[in-house]
Homo-oligomer: A and B are copies of this chain.
Amino acid sequence: MSSIPLTDLQRLCIHTITTKPWNIEEAAGYYSSNGVKGITVWRDALTGRNINKTGEMLRNHGLEIVSLCRGGFFPSKERSKRDLAIADNRKAIEEAYELGTNIIVLVCGADPSLSLEDSRKQIHEGIASVLPDAEAAGIRLAIEPLHPMYADTRSAINTLAQANDLAEILNSPNAGVAVDVYHVWWDPNLEKEIKRAGKNGSIFAFHVCDWKSPTVDLLNDRGLMGEGCIPLRKIRSLVETAGFSGFIEVEIFSNIYWKHDQSVFLQNIISAYKKYV
- Residue in B148, B186, B228 whose beta carbon sits within 8 Å of that of A186 in the complex: B148
Please name 16 further chain A to chain B contacts, defined as beta carbons within 8 Å, in addition to the given A115-B231, A147-B148, A148-B187, sorted by A numbering: A112-B213, A112-B228, A113-B229, A116-B186, A147-B149, A148-B148, A148-B149, A151-B185, A151-B186, A152-B215, A152-B228, A152-B229, A153-B213, A159-B188, A214-B218, A215-B218
Any B CB within 8 A of the CB of A202: no
Q: Which of A132-180 contact B (CB under 8 A)?
A: 147-149, 151-153, 158-159, 161-162
Interface class of chain A by DSSP: loop
Considering the chains assembled together, what is the distance between the CA atoms of A216 and B219 in angstroms?
9
Any B CB within 8 A of the CB of A42: no
Q: Which 5 A-B pairs have the closest CB atoms?
A: A112-B229, A151-B186, A148-B186, A149-B149, A152-B213
Nearest CB in chain B to that of A151: its residue: B186
Contact residues in B for A214 (Cβ distance below 8 Å): 153, 218
Any B CB within 8 A of the CB of A211: yes
Contact residues in B for A159 (Cβ distance below 8 Å): 188
Interface, chain A (partner B; CB < 8 A): 112-113, 115-116, 147-149, 151-153, 158-159, 161-162, 185-188, 211, 213-216, 218, 228-229, 231, 234
Contact residues in B for A229 (Cβ distance below 8 Å): 112-113, 152
Considering the chains assembled together, what is the distance between the CA atoms of A161 and B231 in angstroms?
22
Considering the chains assembled together, what is the distance between the CA atoms of A211 and B115 in angstroms?
13
Considering the chains assembled together, what is the distance between the CA atoms of A98 and B151 in angstroms?
41
Contact B112 A152, beta carbon cutoff 8 Å? no
Contact residues in B for A231 (Cβ distance below 8 Å): 115
Considering the chains assembled together, what is the distance between the CA atoms of A116 and B216 in angstroms?
21
Contact B188 A162, beta carbon cutoff 8 Å? yes
Nearest CB in chain B to that of A183: its residue: B148
Considering the chains assembled together, what is the distance between the CA atoms of A113 and B153 in angstroms?
31
Contact residues in B for A153 (Cβ distance below 8 Å): 213-214
